[in-house]
Amino acid sequence: MATTTSLRSRLLILPSPAASPTAVYLRLRPCAAALPSSSRKRNPCLAARAAPPGGAVAPASSSTPAAAAEKDEKGGVEGLSAADAERLCEFLRADLPHLFDDVGIDRSAYDDRVRFRDPITRHDTIIGYLFNIRLLKLIFRPDFYLHDVKQTGPYELTTRWTMVMKFMLLPWKPELVFTGLSIMGVNPQNLKFNSHVDLWDSIQNNEYFSFEGLMDVFKQLRIYKTPNIETPNYLILKRTAHYEVRSYEPFLIVEAKGDKLTGSSGFNNVTGYIFGKNASSEKIPMTTPVFTQASDDTLSDVSIQIVLPMNKDLNSLPAPNTEVTLRKVEGGIAAVKKFSGRPKEEIVLQKEKDLRSQLLKDGLKPQQGCLLARYNDPRTKSFVMRNEVLIRLNDFTLEL
């Protein structure tokens, strides 16, 4: 919190000393809800509000700079007017979804000397700012999701976002995920953005240049082997140093009784169903991951599950003729800890314990039980295996 306050204090563009210290703070409505998607299947409509076909239109001030200064002097009001704050927020909601597409952001909304900082990058002109965007687009193919925009200071707006990238220069194309805040300073003379500072959720030191930030990039370059087959759709809402928070869409599963989180009891039953051992002998495409779920606080009541294709519904699926059940898993919020290696029982139990402890430390509300997600078949080399422990959350709020 101290770091955020320190950075924000450098961004506030204050009017003349004669102005009154009274500030206008607006809590604008959150962005519209978006349908989650997996990190491999991105939907550009996930942005809080769809942008116009031709991109956003740069906001115009409700008054000239001179008139605004006169209003400050006579009325004693410091900061953006309610109309200007709303207009700038609406502009960002429309403009930022174009950050990495062919339309691009509207550069006329930014000062020529716009100051950009994130933990490992800095630019002090609009040319450098746009160059950084082009470079990210070329090397990482980013997908950007805007969650919320609101006014957080007299001449300051803050956005919350998720950015998912693939590093295209490495053969295994690792996925890098960053979530956080962008603090946007506004020039009171022309109402253009003149500063942009990114704060990442995954690190403590967001000051440029952050060695912690650089290490956060490098550690995401490791190899995780994820099969190129269908998987439940989700959107990463927040990535911390210890876990991700994901919003999952509903999905269907075929389920059988299991023995333990890392066990294989019941696996032949659920795979038998999708391989044709059902009432109509229909073969159903394989998906990933295989879930094992412990629904009690002792992690002893276990079931094994295979996700069914997203284009299926319960009415269109063939009836089972083995000891399996079909059901819909409701979408929701889950905290996820990813790890590699062979998922031995003692390792998984420790991962669950560590994740639950961290969630409680962070003030979140984990539900009892957990899921283990195994993405690879046993023949996969252990150091590239992708495994995840998931704990569902109650009452999660993504805040600025």
Structural domain contains residue 60: no
DSSP 331: P
Segment 186-220, tens digit of pLDDT: 999 999 999 999 999 999 999 999 999 999 999 99
Structural domain contains residue 15: no
Segment 298-322, tens digit of pLDDT: 898 999 999 999 999 999 999 998 8
- With beta carbons less than 8 A apart as the criterion, state whether 239 and 202 touch: yes
| CATH label of the domain that carries residue 339 | 3.20.80.10
- With beta carbons less than 8 A apart as the criterion, state whether 20 and 78 touch: yes
pTM: 0.85
Q: Give mean pLDDT, residues 164-183.
A: 96
Same domain? 254 vs 389 = yes
Confidence of residue 166 (pLDDT cuts 50, 70, 90): very high
Could you tell me which of 93, 89, 63 has the C-alpha nearest to residue 75? 63
Could you tell me what percent of the chain has a pLDDT over 90?
78
Structural domain contains residue 184: yes
Phi, psi of 288 (to 5 degrees): -140, 150
Structural domain contains residue 132: yes
Domain that residue 87 falls in? 82-221
CA–CA gap between residue 116 and residue 198 (Å, rounded): 8
CA–CA gap between residue 26 and residue 79 (Å, rounded): 11
Q: In what helix (H) or strand (E) does residue 245 lie, and over which residues does it extend?
A: strand 244-248
Structural domain contains residue 334: yes
Same domain? 264 vs 374 = yes
Q: What pairs with residue 204 in β-bridges?
A: none
Q: Give mean pLDDT, residues 23-35.
A: 35
Average per-residue pLDDT for the chain:
86
- With beta carbons less than 8 A apart as the criterion, state whether 285 and 309 touch: yes
pLDDT score at 193 = 98
CA–CA gap between residue 358 and residue 355 (Å, rounded): 5
CA–CA gap between residue 97 and residue 52 (Å, rounded): 10
Structural domain contains residue 354: yes
Structural domain contains residue 278: yes
Segment 97-129, tens digit of pLDDT: 999 999 999 999 999 999 999 999 999 999 999
Q: Give mean pLDDT, residues 54-82.
A: 60
Same domain? 261 vs 301 = yes
- Total structural domains in the chain? 2
- With beta carbons less than 8 A apart as the criterion, state whether 52 and 94 touch: yes
Segment 127-148, tens digit of pLDDT: 999 999 999 999 999 999 999 9
Name the amino acid, one letter, at 373. Answer: A
DSSP 287: -
pLDDT score at 372 = 98
